[in-house]
Structure 1
Amino acid sequence: MAASKIAIYGAIGANVAIAVTKFVVAGITGSSAMLSEGIHSAVDTFNGVLLLVGIRLSQRPATAEHPFGHGKELYFWSLIVAVLIFGLGGGVSFYEGIQHIRHPEPMRDATWNYVVLGLAALFEGTSFFIALREFRREARGRPFWQALDQSKDPTTYTVLAEDSAALAGLGVAALGIWASHRFDMPALDGAASVVIGLLLAGVAVLLISQARGLLIGEGIRPETARAIRSLAMQQPSVQDVGRVLSMYIGANEVLAIVDVNFKDGTATGEAADAIAAIEQQVRARFPMIRRLFIEASEAPVDAAATA
Structure 2
Amino acid sequence: MSTGEGGKAIIAALAANLGIAATKFVAFLLTQSSSMLAESIHSVADSGNQALLLLGGRRSRRAATPDHPFGYGRERYIYAFIVSIVLFSLGGLFALYEAYHKWHEAHTDPNHGAITSWHWVPVAVLVAAILMESFSFRTAIKESNHTRGDASWRQFIRRAKAPELPVVLLEDFGALIGLVLALFGVGLTLITGHGLWDALGTGAIGLLLVSIAVILAVETKSLLLGEGASPQDQAAIERALLDGEAVDRIIHMRTMHLGPEELLVAAKFAVRTDETAADVVRHIDEAEARIRAAVPIARVIYLEPDVFRPEAAATPKSGFDGTQLASEAPTGK
Structure 2 counterpart of 1:68, from 67, 70, 78? 70
Rounded to whole Å, the distance in 1 between the matches of 2:7 and 2:156 is: 19
Structure 1 counterpart of 2:105, from 94, 103, 118? 103
Post-superposition offset of 1:101: 0.7
SS of match in other structure, 1:103: helix
Cα deviation digits, residues 234-281 of structure 1 (max 9, x gap)? 433333313322221112111111111223223334433433333233
Query: Per the alignment, do residues 247 and 89 of structure 1 end up closer, same or farther by CA in structure 2, a change over 3 Å counting?
Result: same
Letter in 2 for 1:287: P
2:93 alignment counterpart: 91
Rounded to whole Å, the distance in 2 between the matches of 1:108 and 1:149 is: 45
Rounded to whole Å, the distance in 2 between the matches of 1:281 and 1:194 is: 55
Structure 1 counterpart of 2:290, from 272, 281, 288? 281
Cα deviation digits, residues 13-55 of structure 1 (max 9, x gap)? 1111110110111121121111110000001111111111111
* 1:165-204 alignment runs, 5 A limit: 165-204=174-213
Post-superposition offset of 1:144: 4.8
Larger deviation, residues 102-111 vs 287-296: 102-111
Rounded to whole Å, the distance in 2 between the matches of 1:2 and 1:263 is: 44
- Alignment gaps of 5+ in structure 1: 300-307
Larger deviation, residues 232-241 vs 206-215: 232-241
2:2 alignment counterpart: 2
Rounded to whole Å, the distance in 1 between the matches of 2:215 and 2:282 is: 45
SS of match in other structure, 2:248: strand
Letter in 2 for 1:67: P
Larger deviation, residues 172-181 vs 82-91: 172-181
Rounded to whole Å, the distance in 1 between the matches of 2:234 and 2:253 is: 6
Post-superposition offset of 1:118: 0.8
Rounded to whole Å, the distance in 2 between the matches of 1:67 and 1:160 is: 32
- TM-score, L = length of structure 1: 0.90
2:171 alignment counterpart: 162
Letter in 1 for 2:17: N
Q: Is the 8 A contact 2:45 2:91 kept in 1?
A: yes
Rounded to whole Å, the distance in 2 between the matches of 1:87 and 1:148 is: 22
* 1:138-149 alignment runs, 5 A limit: 138-139=147-148, 141-145=149-153, 146-149=155-158
Letter in 1 for 2:209: L
Cα deviation digits, residues 177-216 of structure 1 (max 9, x gap)? 2222333331121111111111111111111112111112
Rounded to whole Å, the distance in 1 between the matches of 2:161 and 2:263 is: 10
1:296 aligns to 2:305 (yes or no)? yes
Structure 1 counterpart of 2:37, from 35, 38, 41? 35
* 1:4-19 alignment runs, 5 A limit: 4-19=6-21
Rounded to whole Å, the distance in 2 between the matches of 1:287 and 1:44 is: 33
Q: Is the 8 A contact 1:96 1:193 kept in 2?
A: yes
Q: Identity of paired residues, percent?
A: 34
Q: Is the 8 A contact 2:240 2:294 kept in 1?
A: no
Letter in 1 for 2:53: L
Q: Is the 8 A contact 1:10 1:130 kept in 2?
A: yes
Q: Is the 8 A contact 1:31 1:107 kept in 2?
A: yes
2:329 alignment counterpart: none
2:271 alignment counterpart: 262
SS of match in other structure, 2:227: coil
Structure 2 counterpart of 1:224, from 224, 233, 236? 233
Q: Is the 8 A contact 2:33 2:115 kept in 1?
A: yes
Aligned residues: 298
Rounded to whole Å, the distance in 1 between the matches of 2:267 and 2:137 is: 40
Rounded to whole Å, the distance in 1 between the matches of 2:11 and 2:114 is: 37
Post-superposition offset of 1:124: 0.8
Cα deviation digits, residues 64-121 of structure 1 (max 9, x gap)? 1111111111111111111000010000011111111111221224421110011101
Structure 2 counterpart of 1:57, from 59, 65, 71? 59
- Alignment gaps of 5+ in structure 2: 107-112, 309-333
SS of match in other structure, 2:267: strand
